[in-house]
Amino acid sequence: MNLYKRAIDVMPGGVNSPVRAFGSVGMEPVFFKYAKGPYVYDVDGNKYVDFICSWGPMILGHGREDFIEKAKTYLAEGITFGLPTEIEVEMAEFLTKATNTDMVRMVNSGTEATMSAIRLARGYTGRNKIIKFEGCYHGHSDALLVKSGSGTLTYQAPTSLGVPADVIKDTIVCQYNNIEDVKKQIESNKDQVACVIIEPIAGNMGVVVPDKKFIQDLRKLTEENGVVLIFDEVITGFRTGFGSISKDFEIEADLYCFGKIIGGGLPVGAFAGKREIMKNLSPTGGVYQAGTLSGNPLAMKMGLDILKYLKDHGEIYEELDHFAEKLEAGFNKNLKESGVKGKVSRYKSMISLFFGDFDKIKSYEDVKHADTETYKVYFKKMLDRGYIVAPAQFEAIFLSDAHTEEMLDKFLEDNLEVLKEIAANK
């Protein structure tokens, strides 16, 4: 019996996370078994250039020998004790220094980081309401599953069954990149808004880049109203540059959420911020938060290895930016040459190719009309040519240090061929 048949029999949709089901590209999922460098191999032995990179963590590519050798010694030293360890202190010192924060709590996923940061903001302010933005995804906790991007966008389920109306009654959704909208909500909910949570560069409705002024105004507005500003940097953190993206906007948030990249591929998340806020967490404060596997030595050691490597190799960020710049130029040229309608959206190494007719890409309003039918065809054709890009339109392309200039040249050549085929069949 084929793997997909076995999978759907024992796992809903055959997967452990919905986007992997390939539903939004109208296919059955491909199953993978091995990865090395910039490549992933499926169970039939087909090789693909990987433009997903596990959605971010594999920023150095897969299976680096130097990291694997070290990981073997970590395994032998003990995987998890559920007791305090020195490596947690080292990780905390490193992360707070890198992100210009005072204190951090390690968790096991991005979802846990955002969920806990919001509880902390509510506990700290004594307020209940929270503001999020349309198209931003912050993991799958109940209060945040409202108009929340990627998986939920593609499945046309802006909210989820099983989330009681009572739980989301305090979640206010504003339009991305629209400061007036936020101002209005904060004013009409005076002294009730605990926090604003935002993806400083949106990655979960495809890449959407806000105006710098919007983020700066958001900082000013939240500060004036005693509202905690939470940057969800589960994608941007340590990917658009070393540490937090906040320096690009010349501001500081109050709390930061990290994930994906900081675990070196292991399930790790973190939230960090000012001492005045963070000290309200249990056991020093009254906001409860805990985790059996949180800060476990294996994940901390592997995560810290990658973070230290990135600190010592700042040139990787320049390389990734250059790769993305190259893709942007190539996509634009290919769209023009083939006549396929589309638009490229990019910030540093975060990049998306949207199909459809757009004059600007600044909010969910703009991207929601993307031509997902063309994306389906595009995905399949690229897969047939040995490239795995995100199996959904509303996602970013992820690049790694293991990709090469030549590989991207070839990718862009194939991209042009595919776009021409798409144009010919219209």
- Out of 137, 364, 378, 387, the active site residue is 137
Choose the binding region for ligand PLP from 92-100, 137-145, 313-321, 374-382 (rule: CB under 6 A). 137-145
Closest CA to 272 of 241, 316, 296, 237: 237
Asked if 352 is part of the footprint of ligand PLP (rule: CB under 6 A), the reply reads no
Asked if 144 is part of the footprint of ligand PLP (rule: CB under 6 A), the reply reads no
Contact 302, 308 (CB under 8 A): no
Asked if 232 is part of the footprint of ligand PLP (rule: CB under 6 A), the reply reads yes
CA 269/CA 86 separation, integer angstroms: 18
- Exposed, middle or buried, 11 (CB in 10 Å: 0-12/13-18/19+)? exposed
Instruction: Please identify the residue of the shown chain whose CB is closest to the bound ligand PLP.
Output: 110
Interacting residues with ligand PLP between 252 and 271 (CB under 6 A): 259, 269
Calculate the alpha carbon distances from 175 to 127, 135, 324, 332, 363 in Å. 22, 9, 27, 28, 7
Closest approach of ligand PLP to the CB of residue 68, in Å: 23
Q: What x-and-dash track marks residues 101-120 binding ligand PLP by CB under 6 A?
A: --------xxx--x------
Interacting residues with ligand PLP between 268 and 327 (CB under 6 A): 269
* Cα three-residue angle 391-392-398, rounded to 5 degrees: 70
CA 311/CA 137 separation, integer angstroms: 27
Closest approach of ligand PLP to the CB of residue 27, in Å: 22
Closest approach of ligand PLP to the CB of residue 28, in Å: 23
> Among this protein's residues, is 336 annotated catalytic?
no
Contact 298, 74 (CB under 8 A): yes
- Out of 132, 147, 260, 362, the active site residue is 260
Judged by CB under 6 A, the residue of 40, 87, 195, 234 near ligand PLP is 234
Q: Which residue has the tokens 């209940």?
A: 128
Choose the binding region for ligand PLP from 20-28, 81-89, 133-141, 375-383 (rule: CB under 6 A). 133-141
CA 235/CA 57 separation, integer angstroms: 9
CA 78/CA 69 separation, integer angstroms: 15
Asked if 138 is part of the footprint of ligand PLP (rule: CB under 6 A), the reply reads yes
Contact 209, 168 (CB under 8 A): no
Asked if 151 is part of the footprint of ligand PLP (rule: CB under 6 A), the reply reads no
CA 272/CA 256 separation, integer angstroms: 5
234 or 388, CB closer to ligand PLP? 234
- Chain centroid offset of residue 192 CA: 29
> Among this protein's residues, is 142 annotated catalytic?
no
> Among this protein's residues, is 260 annotated catalytic?
yes
Strand order in the sheet with 47-50: 32-36, 39-42, 47-50, 387-388
Asked if 139 is part of the footprint of ligand PLP (rule: CB under 6 A), the reply reads yes
54 or 178, CB closer to ligand PLP? 54
199 or 414, CB closer to ligand PLP? 199
Task: State both tokens at 136.
Answer: 């931003």
CA atoms within 13 A on the CB side of 269: 22
Closest approach of ligand PLP to the CB of residue 419, in Å: 28
Interacting residues with ligand PLP between 192 and 211 (CB under 6 A): 199, 203-204
- Out of 232, 254, 401, 414, the active site residue is 232
Interacting residues with ligand PLP between 47 and 66 (CB under 6 A): none
Number of H helices, E strands in the chain: 14, 13
Would you please indicate which residues are annotated as catalytic (active-site) residues? 137, 232, 260
Residues that bind ligand PLP (CB under 6 A): 109-111, 114, 137-139, 199, 203-204, 232, 234-235, 259, 269
